[in-house]
Amino acid sequence: MADEARQTMTKFWEEHSRDATLEEMMLDSSAKLLSKEEKPEIISLLPSLDGLSVLELGAGIGRYTGHLSKLASHVTAVDFMQKFIDKNREDNGYRGNITFLQADVTQLEQPSESFDFVFSNWLFMYLTDEELVTLIQKMMSWLKPGGYLFFRESCFYQSGDSERTFNPTFYRTPAQYNHLITSVTSTSGNNGFEIVMSKSVQTYIKIKKNQNQVCWLLQMVPRVPDAHQGYGTFQQFLDNQQYSRRGILRYEKIFGEGFVSTGGLETTKEFISMLNLLPGQRVIDVGCGIGGGDFYMAKMYGVEVLGMDLSSNMVEIAMERAIKEKTPLVQFEIGDATRRIFPEASFDVVYSRDTILHINDKGALFKRFFSWLKPGGKLLITDYCCGERPWSPLFQEYVKQRGYILYTPKEYGQFLEQVGFVNVQAQDRTEQFVQVLNTELKRTHEIKEEFLQGFSEEDYNYIIDGWKEKLHRCSLGDQRWGLFYAEKPLDAIL
């Protein structure tokens, strides 16, 4: 940010920090109501902080500082405005494990690997792209391996009272934030950020009909060269390869509105009927795609659904559809199921369609599912599987190119049993898969002219050739499709 803009920001915040009130800090006359609803929501998204060292950037008057210091071994609370720091110290200084620091984050320096967790709330939107990239690089050096970064921002536009708006403010879309983070990660050394979760703050949707308050949880993990076929993160690989926005929409054209998995609404109805859903139950859909199954469950059964997908393109489309669907029982988030943290017994059902083929350690993932489920909770998965080895060279190349990790349906079922699930059903549904593929292939031929109105001849051929190749791989016995049902024991110890 130029010196003139920095001076303008300083003058603005000097004016809006005179009394160091919640309304001033949040730039919103509804601050007390918003904070009361929002604070527990934000806190619920954080990882365990027990015994950790925390850096809080943009701490303000300490709305979160007190909570962070209750759990962490030490908190360093940083803010640009001395009045806010003074108020924070007045309210929270008695705790004894907080360092209060007045500083401009663009000039802030901290020792390497000195923090386990960085927390930031409404800060990045006041930084230029160049300043933010520099700060991300610094935070990556300040964090210990395995450490977390949580940040929350107003996206697209400010969310407080219009008369209190500070200008210039650098409002970015969620996709722009994702791009900035992944661009830094792609050029980093041995460690980089991987996304754990990103979602809209539900309090702002509920109270202000505003979906543009968005938060992220990222984790510092070792970077493995060439692990994602040249992309810095697995999310980048997905969004730029199989699940580009265009790729998703051409799949939807074949599977039906809202669906990107085999059989569309027809198989969705069949499989969901196995769960005997009841109104008020909580369902998590791992690999939710663009949300068709989630809207169906909420509307037909009255269940609450959290749709989670690592592809930001998938979730972006799902959230666009959610505005039209007007189904408050459904929420969406960008999330990595292998890192996402939920309290034990959070859900009645774990549901997943043709997603887990991307995940290497399926046993570890199923342990997470087991933990997330309430005693008596149910799991239902469909997924790409494989036949007995050795595979044909054709299938080996296909699996390598897609980055899939496949097992036979029997092996898949054994993974579920090994982590403690009971009443496990591991069904080879390849015959049904082939029938559905033939139906979809026939329909694609029938709607060719309609398809070409929205997509290219190349897109059309991609679908036709892809479906034919799937059928051929099935005929060789290499490619299989499995349906898996399981339950968590009623007497499972939490």
**Among 175, 193, 223, residue at a domain's last position:** 223
Q: Do 204 and 244 belong together in one domain?
A: no
Q: What's the rounded Cα separation, in Å, for the pair 401 and 395?
A: 10
Q: What's the rounded Cα separation, in Å, for the pair 234 and 223?
A: 11
> Is the residue at 151 inside a domain?
yes
> Is the residue at 492 inside a domain?
no
- The predicted model gives 231-242 an average pLDDT of 68
Q: Do 363 and 217 belong together in one domain?
A: no
| 137 and 186 Cβ atoms separated by less than 8 Å | no
Label residue 155 by pLDDT band (50, 70, 90).
confident
Could you tell me the two tokens for 55? 């850096």
Q: Do 219 and 244 belong together in one domain?
A: no
SS3 call for 382: strand
Q: Do 218 and 241 belong together in one domain?
A: no
What is the span of the domain harbouring residue 307?
236-487
Closest CA to 330 of 383, 292, 376, 287: 292
pLDDT at position 248:
93
Is the bond preceding residue 343 a cis peptide, omega within 30 degrees? no
The kind and range of the H/E element at 13 are: helix 3-15
Q: What's the rounded Cα separation, in Å, for the pair 410 and 387?
A: 10
Cα 48 to the center of its chain, rounded Å: 18
Label residue 25 by pLDDT band (50, 70, 90).
confident
Q: Do 194 and 101 belong together in one domain?
A: yes
> Is the residue at 77 inside a domain?
yes
pLDDT at position 332:
94
Which amino acid, one-letter code, is at 454?
Answer: G
**Among 167, 194, 223, residue at a domain's last position:** 223
Closest CA to 298 of 312, 310, 285: 285
DSSP class of 27: T
- The predicted model gives 144-153 an average pLDDT of 95
Q: Do 12 and 135 belong together in one domain?
A: yes
Query: Mean pLDDT of all residues in the chain?
Result: 90
Lowest mean pLDDT among 129-133, 221-225, 285-289, 413-417: 221-225
Taking each helix axis from N to C end, the angle separating 292-301 and 264-272, rounded to the nearest 10 degrees, works out to: 50
pLDDT at position 1:
45
| 426 and 486 Cβ atoms separated by less than 8 Å | no
Could you tell me the two tokens for 130? 């160049």
Q: What angle do CA 62, 44, 118 make, to 5 degrees?
A: 50
Closest CA to 118 of 62, 172, 68, 183: 68
Contact partners, residue 231, CB within 8 Å, separation at least 6: 186, 237, 240
The kind and range of the H/E element at 375 are: strand 373-386
Q: Do 26 and 170 belong together in one domain?
A: yes
DSSP class of 447: T
Q: Do 195 and 243 belong together in one domain?
A: no
**Among 223, 257, 289, residue at a domain's last position:** 223
Contact partners, residue 124, CB within 8 Å, separation at least 6: 132, 135, 151, 153, 170, 172, 177
Helix residue ranges per DSSP H, 16-158: 22-26, 31-44, 65-71, 82-92, 129-142
Distance separating the N- and C-terminal Cα atoms of the chain: 51
pLDDT at position 159:
59
pLDDT at position 89:
97
SS (H, E, C) 452-488: HHHCCHHHHHHHHHHHHHHHHHHHCCCEEEEEEEEEC
The kind and range of the H/E element at 351 are: strand 347-353
- The predicted model gives 402-416 an average pLDDT of 95
> Is the residue at 322 inside a domain?
yes
| 336 and 195 Cβ atoms separated by less than 8 Å | yes
Q: Which residue has the tokens 């929420």?
A: 331
Q: Do 268 and 358 belong together in one domain?
A: yes
Per-residue pLDDT at 406 exceeds 90: yes
| 472 and 465 Cβ atoms separated by less than 8 Å | no
Per-residue pLDDT at 189 exceeds 90: no
> Is the residue at 493 inside a domain?
no
Number of CB atoms found within 10 A of residue 487's CB = 18
Q: Do 243 and 99 belong together in one domain?
A: no
Is the bond preceding residue 168 a cis peptide, omega within 30 degrees? yes
C-alpha atoms less than 13 angstroms from C-alpha of 29 in its C-beta half-sphere: 4
Q: Do 335 and 465 belong together in one domain?
A: yes
Cross-strand partners of 385: 480
Q: Do 209 and 306 belong together in one domain?
A: no
Domains in the chain, number:
2
> 325-357 pLDDT, tens per residue?
888 899 999 999 999 989 999 999 999 999 999
Closest CA to 384 of 366, 399, 364: 399
The kind and range of the H/E element at 116 are: strand 115-121
Contact partners, residue 81, CB within 8 Å, separation at least 6: 13, 14, 17, 102
Q: What's the rounded Cα separation, in Å, for the pair 254 and 260?
A: 8
> Is the residue at 325 inside a domain?
yes
pLDDT at position 110:
97
Contact partners, residue 133, CB within 8 Å, separation at least 6: 180, 183, 184
> Is the residue at 242 inside a domain?
yes
Label residue 180 by pLDDT band (50, 70, 90).
confident
Question: What CATH number has the domain bearing residue 470?
Answer: 3.40.50.150
| 388 and 409 Cβ atoms separated by less than 8 Å | no
